[in-house]
Structure 1
Amino acid sequence: MILSLIQSNPIVAVVWIVAIVLSLTVHEFSHALVGKLRGDRTAELEGRLTLNPLAHIDWFGFLAVVLIGFGWAKPVPYNPHNLKNPKWDSVWVALAGPGSNLVFAVVCGTLLRVLTAAGMISGTNLLGIFLVLMVLLNLFLLLFNIIPVHPLDGTKLLFAIFDQPKHERLRFFVATQGPRVLLFLVILSLLTPFNVFGFISLPAFAACDALTDQSCLGFLMRIFYP
């Protein structure tokens, strides 16, 4: 997807890559920040409490960004035993990432509306394109990461809810088989017509439309098929 955009509109392709790298950086930084606030300095000591993208980039994840327009960063380490309340603070650390994506989407959507109403930008200049992409990409990151499949952030909430001994087999299955399940679903979505993550698209585009006051699907169509 991005490869075709690089050929047809390299400047917009660079804007897309910058937007996703920035969104991933803030996502991981937020994990590290909340971890420190709740008593764990593991991420800080490993140099992850920073907004420097180089501290968070996973180069395979970055390659995925270039190839398909979506990717991942290095997971932020934390030690639950250092947290003030290991059970629920682990949830807050996990949800800090998706929470930052929600805040980012709302802020960028609001800024886009204000600047557009003031006649300072339009949906066709680079700043307008960047802000719409920030809204859309952060919404996708939010919805994708709250899926309760390990190692995604939503798993921590699942573990906190089902923490009783009778649910040990469920937790073990999710923790050990989750990465395989997630990889299978991603490959299935990329290589076949069966996009199992399609259920993310509907709320993501609906929220993007509401935040930007325009059709975000139409926006993408204009980018890829000018």
Structure 2
Amino acid sequence: MFSLQSIVYLVIAVILSMSIHETAHGLVSYWMGDPTAKLEGRLSLNPFKHVDWLGLVCLLICGFGWAKPVPIDARYYKDAKTGIIWTSFAGPVANFLLSFICIFLFYALYKFAPQFMMTSVGYFVSNTLTYTGLISTGFGIFNLIPVPPLDGSKILFSFLPDDKYYKFIDGAPWMNILFIFLIFTGLLDYPLGMLRSNMIQFFEMIAKMILGF
């Protein structure tokens, strides 16, 4: 049973993770010549421009979810496949970067301002950093699963010949069924949880090394 306080932390973490993820997609696509996301107002950290309500619920409950995909038009790219790969990578990479920043700031506070962490404001800040680090890492990992419509499918399928690539990238009914099956059966909860734990430990190790722990 979630407490009101933990729900507040989760909502903040979800908003940050989801907004950073989708904004990164749009920014990289824009940098590669595609104005679609900008024209539709998606180059924004405003969560209401990115929220997918089912994905939000899954993210809050399971730690893995999705947001409303940022529209891209690969026709603007010099090379469509390459553009899609970089645009798809951008969201998860942004999530991992956000997670590392949160973990680094947590340990920086722990080392340089331990008394602050004992205050009510410090307690709120440190818990927000912890929740955001966990949620953002999970969100990034989840989106790398190679099943449409997740980012991982766009990256993996780019190695296929063009005729098969565009067939897979558009998705198929069995892929949608597989996606729903994986979400609601929880079959991926354990392996994804292990990946998240390992990545968090790696980020902690790097942060401690930099801070001289």
Same fold (TM over 0.5): yes
CA gap 1:173/1:91 in 2 versus in 1, 3 angstroms: closer
Counterpart pick for 1:87 among 68, 81, 88: 81
Deviation of the 1:163 alpha carbon: 2.4
How far apart are 1:93 and its partner, in Å? 0.6
Residue 136 (structure 1) aligned with residue 128 (structure 2): no
Cα distance, 1:197–1:70 mapped onto 2, change above 3 Å: closer
In the alignment, does 2:113 pair up with 1:121? no
Match for residue 159 of structure 2 among 153, 158, 161: 161
Distance 1:79 1:173 in 2: 13
- Which letter maps to 1:159? F
**Matches of 2:160 and 2:64 in 1, distance apart?**
31
User: Structure 1 stretches of 5 or more lacking a match?
Assistant: 190-194, 214-226
Which is bigger in relative contact order (C-alpha 8 A, separation at least 6)?
Answer: 2
CA RMSD in angstroms comes to 2.3
> 2:63 and 2:139 mapped to 1: Cα distance?
12
1:182 aligns with 2:179: yes
Q: Does the CA-based 8 Å contact 1:132-1:212 persist in structure 2? A: no
CA distance in 2, matches of 1:40, 1:170: 19
Partner Cα separation in structure 2 for residue 57 and residue 97 of structure 1: 14
Q: Distance between the aligned counterparts of 2:204 and 2:117, measured in 1?
A: 13
**Secondary structure of the structure 2 residue equivalent to 1:96:** helix
CA distance in 1, matches of 2:74, 2:111: 46
Q: Which residue of 2 aligns with 1:44?
A: 38
Q: Give the number of aligned pairs.
A: 199
Q: Is the 8 A contact 2:19 2:46 kept in 1?
A: yes
CA offset digits 1:161-202 (Å, max 9, x no partner): 11254xx2895498213221010111111xxxxx33321111
Partner of 2:11: 17
Identity level (%) = 31
State how far apart, in whole Å, the 2-side matches of 1:169 and 1:88 are.
13
User: What is the CA-CA distance between 1:75 and the residue it aligns to?
Assistant: 0.8
- Relative distance call for 1:143 and 1:59 in structure 2 (3 A) is closer
Matched, 1:200 2:196: no
Could you state the TM-score of these two structures normalised by the residue count of structure 2? 0.84
* Structure 1 Cα separation of the partners of residues 52 and 13 of structure 2: 16
CA distance in 2, matches of 1:137, 1:103: 12
**Is the Cα–Cα contact under 8 Å of residues 19 and 47 in structure 2 kept in the other structure?**
yes
TM normalised by structure 1 equals 0.80
Distance 1:67 1:138, change over 3 A: closer
Once the two structures are superposed, residues 80-127 of structure 1 have per-residue CA deviations (whole angstroms, 9 ceiling, x without a partner) of: 1111221111110111000101111111111111111111326x9221
